[in-house]
C-alpha cells in the first residue's frame, strides 16, 4: 500500500469514527463511555456501541405527602399500612402509614349508650351520600325525615365510608363543632375536609378497627 493510499484510508476511518462518536453522544452516552468502546489504527477502525447508561429508578413519593388535614405522628402498631384505627376514648382516628407512623385526625365518636368496638372491612365509599335515618333513630327523633338528599346540609357531610354490613360509617358532618366530643349515635364523624382527604386514600376492603 502506498503512503498516499494509507493516508486516505486513515482519513476515511477517522471520519467514520468521528461521525459515530457524535451519534452516540447525541443518544446520551458520555464521552468516556464512547472512548472506551473505540479502537482505531491506521488500517482498521472498529466501533462498538457502548453499554447503555442505566435508567435512574423512579423515586416513590413519600407516604406522608399532601396530608393537609391530619397530623403525622408516631404510632407503633402491628397493623399494616392502610389500616384505620379509631380510639374512641380520645376521639382520634389513625390512618396507618407503616414504619411506626400514622396520620392522626380528630373525630366525634359515639355518645354514652351508643359506644361500640370491633373490626370491619370498608364495604363502600360514597361522595355526598344520601341519608336514610334508621327506624330506631326516627323513633327517638320524630322530627327527622325518612330521607335526606346528599349535600352541605346533610348530616353525613361530604363523604361516607361504609363499614361492612353494619349501620356505621366514617363520614363528614354539618356540625363541625361536634368534632372532639362524644356526639353521634355510633358513626364516626370527621370534618368534611378531613374525611375527603381520607376518602381519597382508603380502598374498599381496607380494615377499620374501633376500640
Domain residues for the domain of 9 are 3-47
What confidence category does residue 177 fall into, taking pLDDT thresholds of 50, 70 and 90? very high
The yes-or-no verdict on residue 28 having pLDDT over 60 is no
Pair 179, 79 in one domain: yes
Pair 78, 157 in one domain: yes
Residues in the chain: 211
Q: Tell whether 200 is covered by a domain.
A: yes
The yes-or-no verdict on residue 53 having pLDDT over 70 is no
The CA-to-CA distance between both ends of the chain, in Å, stands at 93
Catalytic, 69? Answer no
Q: Tell whether 61 is covered by a domain.
A: no
What confidence category does residue 85 fall into, taking pLDDT thresholds of 50, 70 and 90? very high
Q: Tell whether 110 is covered by a domain.
A: yes
Q: To the nearest whole number, what is the mean pLDDT of the chain?
A: 82
Q: State residue 134's pLDDT score.
A: 86
Which CATH number characterizes residue 138's domain?
Answer: 2.40.440.10
Pair 19, 119 in one domain: no
Pair 35, 76 in one domain: no
Q: Tell whether 58 is covered by a domain.
A: no
Query: Residues near 20 by Cβ (< 8 Å), separated by ≥ 6?
Result: 47
Q: State residue 137's pLDDT score.
A: 87
Q: What is the mean pLDDT of residues 134-141?
A: 88
Q: What is the mean pLDDT of residues 97-120?
A: 96
Pair 20, 95 in one domain: no
Q: Among the options 69, 91, 120, 171, which is catalytic?
A: 171
Q: What is the mean pLDDT of residues 137-141?
A: 89
Q: Which residue has the higher pLDDT, 129 or 17?
A: 129
Q: Tell whether 90 is covered by a domain.
A: yes
The answer to whether the CB of 134 falls within 8 A of the CB of 161 is no
Compute the C-alpha angle 10/16/18, nearest 5°: 100
Whole-angstrom Cα distance, residue 143 to residue 31? 80
Pair 22, 99 in one domain: no
Q: Among the options 69, 91, 120, 187, which is catalytic?
A: 187
Structural domains in the chain (count)? 2
Q: State residue 61's pLDDT score.
A: 44
Q: State residue 13's pLDDT score.
A: 59
Pair 133, 171 in one domain: yes
**What is the percent of the chain with per-residue pLDDT over 70, rounded to a whole number?**
69
Closest CA to 210 of 165, 156, 163: 163
- Cell 363520614 locates to 171
What confidence category does residue 50 fall into, taking pLDDT thresholds of 50, 70 and 90? very low
Q: State residue 20's pLDDT score.
A: 57
Q: Tell whether 60 is covered by a domain.
A: no
Catalytic, 91? Answer no
Q: What is the reported pTM?
A: 0.69
What confidence category does residue 19 fall into, taking pLDDT thresholds of 50, 70 and 90? low
Q: Tell whether 53 is covered by a domain.
A: no
Amino acid at each position: 500500500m502506498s503512503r498516499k493510499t494509507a493516508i486516505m484510508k486513515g482519513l476515511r476511518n477517522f471520519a467514520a469514527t468521528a461521525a459515530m462518536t457524535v451519534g452516540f453522544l447525541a443518544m446520551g452516552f458520555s464521552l468516556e463511555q464512547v472512548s472506551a468502546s473505540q479502537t482505531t489504527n491506521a488500517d482498521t477502525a472498529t466501533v462498538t456501541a457502548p453499554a447503555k447508561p442505566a435508567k435512574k429508578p423512579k423515586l416513590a413519593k413519600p407516604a406522608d405527602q399532601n396530608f393537609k388535614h391530619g397530623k403525622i405522628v408516631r404510632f407503633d402498631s402491628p397493623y399494616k399500612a392502610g389500616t384505620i384505627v379509631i380510639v374512641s376514648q380520645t376521639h382520634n382516628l389513625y390512618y396507618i402509614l407503616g414504619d411506626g407512623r400514622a396520620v392522626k385526625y380528630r373525630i366525634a365518636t359515639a355518645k354514652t349508650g351508643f359506644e361500640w368496638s370491633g373490626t370491619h372491612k370498608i364495604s363502600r365509599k360514597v361522595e355526598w351520600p344520601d341519608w336514610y335515618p334508621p327506624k330506631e333513630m326516627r323513633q327517638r327523633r320524630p322530627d327527622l325525615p325518612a330521607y335526606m338528599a346528599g349535600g352541605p346540609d346533610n348530616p353525613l357531610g361530604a363523604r361516607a365510608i361504609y363499614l361492612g354490613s353494619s349501620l356505621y360509617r366514617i363520614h363528614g358532618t354539618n356540625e363541625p363543632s361536634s368534632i372532639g366530643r362524644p356526639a353521634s349515635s355510633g358513626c364516626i364523624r370527621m370534618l368534611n375536609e378531613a374525611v375527603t382527604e381520607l376518602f381519597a386514600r382508603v380502598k374498599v376492603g381496607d380494615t377499620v378497627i374501633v376500640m
